[in-house]
């Protein structure tokens, strides 16, 4: 009787950028130490089908279950096109596969950031995210845009800031269309002195800018009497929020205002991404994107809250 082949787990990275970031490849290897990785760079929507067919057929349907696609890149629009082309190619093949999408960590980072603010809100007795007034600074960037989508899905009232009102409005319109309700509005912020107006009335503030750029000063935060939670994804100095250290995890920055730093968010981000990869590897098909990432991150927070309540 012929012995069934033992298939090694293989991750095929389709990256829209010039260089494939080692970050996600390292997370995948840590999740599956015996796995192998193949990477393709500068991938376009036109390139994707050929690569997809070549990875699906050599190992047959059983082998394909152990061959996972990870789509990445810093340009969200290009990534979405590659995802669409990949899904279309799989539908036309005799068998498909699961797809992991976490463009430059934007999905898992945003999921972790929102989940952490949810956790602090629940822990401090502020309630769920529904109905909360949230401002996402740099809300049209990879993490900010995704966080805004998640907050809106949680029925929060979201304000995103953008250097371009037109660009911000495109993002807001798209999210509102997804939600079927007007939950996101945009405020143009081109100068630091405009930030105070953007966070007016906010109960939760998420600084989602690039590394090394301060978006929220201590003075502006002090002028925001409604703010209860402030979070920052930037661990590179100068930090995104003045006075909020990377390791702060629910620290009371001033009476009634609690801070969540970038490294505190980062710990949950890594757990979330690793779990996304594990779930995708366990499933023969499916799309594992920001929605799955948030479900994972929120579940982690809910378990932590339940454990604390049981003590």
Q: Are residues 199 and 114 in the same domain?
A: yes
pLDDT the model gives residue 6: 79
Q: Are residues 159 and 284 in the same domain?
A: no
- Decide: helix, strand or coil at residue 216: strand
Q: Are residues 255 and 132 in the same domain?
A: yes
DSSP assigned state of 241: B
Q: Answer yes or no: is 307 within a domain.
A: no
Find, among 76, 82, 96, the residue nearest to 48 by Cα.
82
pLDDT the model gives residue 233: 97
Q: Are residues 180 and 42 in the same domain?
A: no
Q: Are residues 79 and 130 in the same domain?
A: no
Q: Answer yes or no: is 3 within a domain.
A: no
Instruction: Supply the CATH number for residue 14's domain.
Output: 3.40.50.10280
Q: Are residues 281 and 136 in the same domain?
A: no
Q: Are residues 157 and 112 in the same domain?
A: yes
CB-based contact 231:205 (threshold 8 Å): yes
Q: Answer yes or no: is 226 within a domain.
A: yes
- 42-58 pLDDT, tens digit per residue, is 999 999 999 999 999 99
Q: Are residues 52 and 71 in the same domain?
A: yes
> How many angstroms separate the Cα of 67 from the Cα of each of 46, 99, 133, 202?
21, 10, 42, 45
Q: Answer yes or no: is 77 within a domain.
A: yes
For helices 290-310 and 142-153, the axis angle rounded to 10 degrees is 60
Q: Answer yes or no: is 240 within a domain.
A: yes
CB-based contact 159:187 (threshold 8 Å): yes
Q: Answer yes or no: is 311 within a domain.
A: no
Find, among 218, 222, 219, 223, the residue nearest to 232 by Cα.
218
Boundaries of domain holding 89: 10-104+270-302
Question: What's the token pair of residue 82?
Answer: 């590659």
Find, among 59, 61, 49, the residue nearest to 95 by Cα.
61
Alpha helix ranges (H) inside the chain: 22-31, 48-56, 60-64, 76-92, 106-123, 142-153, 165-179, 195-198, 218-222, 262-282, 290-310
Q: Are residues 88 and 114 in the same domain?
A: no
pLDDT the model gives residue 1: 43
Q: For residue 311, is pLDDT > 90?
A: no
Q: Answer yes or no: is 1 within a domain.
A: no
Query: What is the mean predicted confidence (pLDDT) over 158-175?
Result: 96
Q: Which helix (H) or strand (E) holds 159?
A: strand 157-162
Average pLDDT, the chain: 95
Instruction: Supply the CATH number for residue 179's domain.
Output: 3.40.50.720
CB-based contact 222:186 (threshold 8 Å): no
- 241-300 pLDDT, tens digit per residue, is 999 999 999 999 999 999 999 999 999 999 999 999 999 999 988 999 999 999 999 999
Q: Are residues 228 and 294 in the same domain?
A: no
Query: What is the mean predicted confidence (pLDDT) over 178-188?
Result: 95
Q: Answer yes or no: is 81 within a domain.
A: yes
Compute CA 276 distance to the chain's CA centroid, rounded to the nearest angstrom. Answer: 11
Q: Are residues 44 and 62 in the same domain?
A: yes
Counted domains in the chain: 2
- 214-232 pLDDT, tens digit per residue, is 999 999 999 899 999 999 9
Q: Are residues 128 and 257 in the same domain?
A: yes
């Amino acid at each position: 009787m012929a012995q069934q082949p033992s298939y090694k787990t293989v991750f095929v990275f389709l990256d829209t950028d010039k260089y494939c970031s080692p970050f996600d490849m390292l997370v995948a290897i840590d999740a599956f130490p015996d796995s192998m990785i193949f990477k393709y760079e500068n991938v376009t929507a036109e390139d994707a089908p050929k690569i997809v067919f070549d990875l699906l057929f050599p190992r047959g349907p059983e082998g394909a279950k152990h061959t996972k696609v990870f789509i990445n890149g810093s340009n969200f629009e290009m990534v979405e096109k590659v995802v669409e082309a990949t899904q279309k190619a799989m539908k036309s093949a005799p068998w498909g596969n699961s797809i992991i999408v976490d463009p430059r960590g934007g999905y898992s980072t945003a999921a972790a950031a929102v989940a952490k603010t949810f956790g602090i809100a629940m822990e401090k007795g502020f309630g769920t995210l529904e109905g909360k007034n949230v401002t996402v600074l740099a809300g049209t960037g990879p993490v900010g845009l995704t966080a805004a989508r998640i907050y809106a899905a949680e029925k929060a009232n979201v304000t995103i800031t953008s250097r371009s009102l037109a660009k911000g409005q495109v993002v807001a319109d798209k999210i509102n269309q997804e939600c079927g309700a007007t939950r996101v509005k945009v405020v143009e912020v081109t100068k630091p002195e405009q930030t105070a107006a953007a966070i007016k009335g906010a109960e939760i503030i998420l600084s989602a800018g690039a590394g090394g750029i301060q978006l929220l000063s201590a003075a502006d935060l002090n002028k925001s009497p409604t703010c209860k939670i402030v979070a920052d994804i930037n661990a590179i100095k100068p930090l995104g929020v003045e006075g909020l250290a990377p390791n702060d995890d629910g620290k009371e920055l001033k009476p009634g205002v609690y801070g969540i730093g970038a490294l505190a968010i980062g710990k949950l981000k890594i757990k979330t991404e690793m779990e996304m990869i594990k779930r995708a590897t366990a499933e023969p098909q499916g799309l594992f994107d920001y929605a799955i990432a948030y479900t994972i991150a929120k579940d982690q927070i809910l378990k932590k809250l339940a454990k604390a309540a049981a003590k």
